[in-house]
Structure 1
Amino acid sequence: MMVLNMYRFTFTLPLLLLCTLVGCEPHPFAGGTALPDGSVYSGGMENGLFHGHGKLTWPDGRTYTGEFHRGRISGLGKFDYGDGCIYEGAFRNGELHGEGRYACEENIWEGDFEQGEIRRGTVSWDNGETYTGEFQDWQPHGRGLLTTAEGTEYEGRFENGLPVNGSYRDRLGYSYRGGFEYFQYAGEGELIQPDGTMVRANFEYGEANGEGVLILPDGTGELQEQKGFFVSGRYYPSEQAWRQSEQDQRSAVEARLYSEAERLQAQFSALAPQRPGVRDVYLLAVGGDGTSPVFAKEVEWVTERLGTVFDIEQRQIKLSNGGGDKYPLATRTSIRESLKALDRIMDPEEDLLLLHLVSHGDENGDFLLAEAKVQLNDLSVADAKQWLDALEVRHQWIVVSACYSGLWKEALAGPERTIFTSAAPDRTSFGCSDDSERTWFSAALYSDALDTGVNDPAAWFAAAKQRVMEMEKEQGIEEDAYSLPQLALGREFLSWWNSPN
């Protein structure tokens, strides 16, 4: 389901001047009639009252041009509020009343006005959304149809700008009929999915929960009903079946936690020793967020690709969340212990530590660590710097593919390090959706760019950065939202890297 984040333009209209000459003590002059409030009238008069076509101008820039009747603004006219908002249409006794059009910046209300407010009609907001129906206090209220910029439709009864009951349709093929709360499915309802599957249940926060019915097409045009129990939209044959599933998952998590130390030690024991006189490369690859499958897939692919240019078959540690139990979990503890294990086996002067980190990133630079059913602490830039600084191995090549990863470059850059990051400190990066095979930066870095060779780190990075910009342009991303991958190339690192083995 699409959950709509609505923007509403609300305001209070100023009361229009109800002006008569009686008791106003106007002062006629060549340019019109001046009133005590500083406004000036020019136009028709009858029996000492404004009457017929005329114009009122206020000192603050407001103007009204149109019809007057017996000293009052009544009939057809145009009111310019002087702040970019204009009403054109019918007035009665100084108020918006009858057919009219109110435009404020790029927000436009058109329809029937009564006593200064729109009651029935259409509004077009500057975010591309439209609504046709009934209004109260300038918001959708009563029967109506709201259409988002993406083509999603909410039709039914609205209260205070929000749908409360009716139907939902979107371009993906989802449709729903029932209650709403803050644009999410709520209460009794019926959801039809694009494949024809139907769910009748009570909905909470947009998902089916509790007892309900799952209706499946059987391929012959017939529908099969299955009573059951829903939890966050997932169907179970019964509440007992759900509880058993939860218990089984917790048991599996418990068993895995007890085996983590052994699994991690097995990876350490499989490491090949350092070879004197050879510049060995040792890799630590970490996939952080197990709730997004792309990161676990990337760890596998990156390791495979790096194996084409470095002899790392027995010189690698892979930590991954969300990829089953093939590798140890990526946690703060496993990352730190893996760095220590590599440091113990490597020659501090001769070998290279290559670290590849991929996950979601927070605005403060935190590297997200997450696994279903297990609550993990994230890895901060400060802690990563402390751990890496404490290693004896001097030469470190660090690649971070995560949003806001430029903060890692700023913190970790040093003369004996090379840092590649997928984004600037204030930018997000791309390619981390569930249907992606790998992040865009890693796809660029380890595909064609890797084939050009790793002898020149700056050239390797430049080729990857150029490809990322091409991908962003191809996908229609605005230039001010480009990820802007970052490079820090330590001078001593480069001198060592270019020296003979």
Structure 2
Amino acid sequence: MKYLPFACCLILAACTTVPPQTPIQSKALLEQQLATIAPSVPGRPATFLLVVAGYDQPVPFSSEMRLAAHQLGIAFDANRRTVLLSNARNDSTTLPQAMPDVLDDAIKGLAGKMNLQEDTLAIYMVSHGRYDGAFVLNRQGSPMSTISPAWLRATLNQAEIKWRVVFASACFAGVFDKALADDDTMVMTAADALHPSFGCSNDNQYTYFGRALLDKRDFAHPDWAAIYADTAE
């Protein structure tokens, strides 16, 4: 009996470790989300939303993903046209995990639902960012990977999505602005290309950027809608 506490600790540790999804599992969960999204109606421009929590910890990434899905879903009237990808441990059995090939499939899957000349794809990404601006994708128990601004631009181009809105909540995320912003693409980042962002700590519910941008009762104020409308003209 003197070994029982140690044995219990081993059992509890095993229960709290969830193996990472395989690409097949993530793509199956992605297909379930895409199947619920109705195709665009010609002549009625709409916004489709992709929200990505790229790192398995700390807590703010998963929380901010959900906040962004809720608030941007209201602001863009995209609640029924939203896909979530998350590497957070608490999402590992319910949401597709964010890997480059799954993110590629998500963008192309949403493009297949869109009127590519009328509709907008809004992407909100929250994670750690490297000093070179790469957006980090990290799943518990798997090698770390990244996506670059050039990769995201090429993927959106291949999907033939014309109108784009990109939010990047990560350190050095200003690199995405330089690579993506143009007459058809609005980009908003948590930091410029030379500085870190703040708030990615378990002491916070959201990053500083997410809290400032999204955690407001008046987020869907007409002023915000007007700013968005100006970018889509």
Q: Which secondary structure does the structure 1 equivalent of 2:198 belong to? A: coil
Q: Which of 179, 184, 190 is the equivalent residue of 1:411?
A: 179
Q: For residue 421 of structure 1, what is the aligned residue in structure 2?
A: 189
Q: Which of 62, 83, 88 is the equivalent residue of 1:317?
A: 83
TM-score normalized by the length of structure 2: 0.87
Matching of residue 297 in structure 1 with residue 63 in structure 2 = yes
- Aligned residues: CA RMSD: 2.4
Structure richer in strand, relative to its length: 1
Give the Cα separation in 1 of the matches to 2:157 and 2:7.
Answer: 52
Question: What are the equivalent positions in structure 2 for 1:180-259 lying under 5 Å apart?
Answer: 237-238=5-6, 241-242=9-10, 252-253=18-19, 256-257=21-22, 259=25
Q: CA deviation at 1:248?
A: 5.2
Give the Cα separation in 2 of the matches to 1:364 and 1:450.
Answer: 31
Q: Determine if contact 1:365/1:407 at 8 Å carries over to the other structure.
A: yes
Question: What are the equivalent positions in structure 2 for 1:100-499 lying under 5 Å apart?
Answer: 237-238=5-6, 241-242=9-10, 252-253=18-19, 256-257=21-22, 259-322=25-88, 323-324=90-91, 325-448=93-216, 450-453=219-222, 454-457=224-227, 494=230, 497-498=232-233
Q: CA deviation at 1:392?
A: 1.2
The AA in structure 1 aligned to 2:127 is S
Give the Cα separation in 2 of the matches to 1:271 and 1:279.
Answer: 15
- In terms of Rg, which structure is larger? 1
Q: Determine if contact 2:26/2:95 at 8 Å carries over to the other structure.
A: no
Give the Cα separation in 1 of the matches to 2:109 and 2:15.
Answer: 34
Give the Cα separation in 1 of the matches to 2:155 and 2:207.
Answer: 26
Structure 1 residues 349 and 396, CA gap change in structure 2 (3 angstroms): same
Structure 1 residues 285 and 239, CA gap change in structure 2 (3 angstroms): same
Structure 1 residues 269 and 376, CA gap change in structure 2 (3 angstroms): farther
The AA in structure 1 aligned to 2:183 is P
Structure richer in helix, relative to its length: 2
TM-score normalized by the length of structure 1: 0.42
Residue by residue over 1:295-330, the C-alpha shift from the partner in whole angstroms, topping out at 9 and shown as x without a partner, is 011111111112322222220100011132231111
Q: Determine if contact 1:281/1:351 at 8 Å carries over to the other structure.
A: yes
The AA in structure 2 aligned to 1:358 is V
Give the Cα separation in 2 of the matches to 1:271 and 1:405.
Answer: 29
Q: Which secondary structure does the structure 1 equivalent of 2:85 belong to? A: strand
Dislocated runs of 4+, deviation >4 Å: 244-250
Q: Which secondary structure does the structure 2 equivalent of 1:368 belong to? A: strand
The AA in structure 1 aligned to 2:194 is D
Q: CA deviation at 1:382?
A: 2.3
Q: Determine if contact 2:49/2:73 at 8 Å carries over to the other structure.
A: no
Q: Determine if contact 1:431/1:439 at 8 Å carries over to the other structure.
A: yes
Give the Cα separation in 2 of the matches to 1:443 and 1:375.
Answer: 30
Q: Percent identity?
A: 26
Q: Determine if contact 1:331/1:376 at 8 Å carries over to the other structure.
A: no
The higher relative CO (CA closer than 8 Å, separation ≥ 6) is in 2
Structure 1 residues 438 and 240, CA gap change in structure 2 (3 angstroms): closer
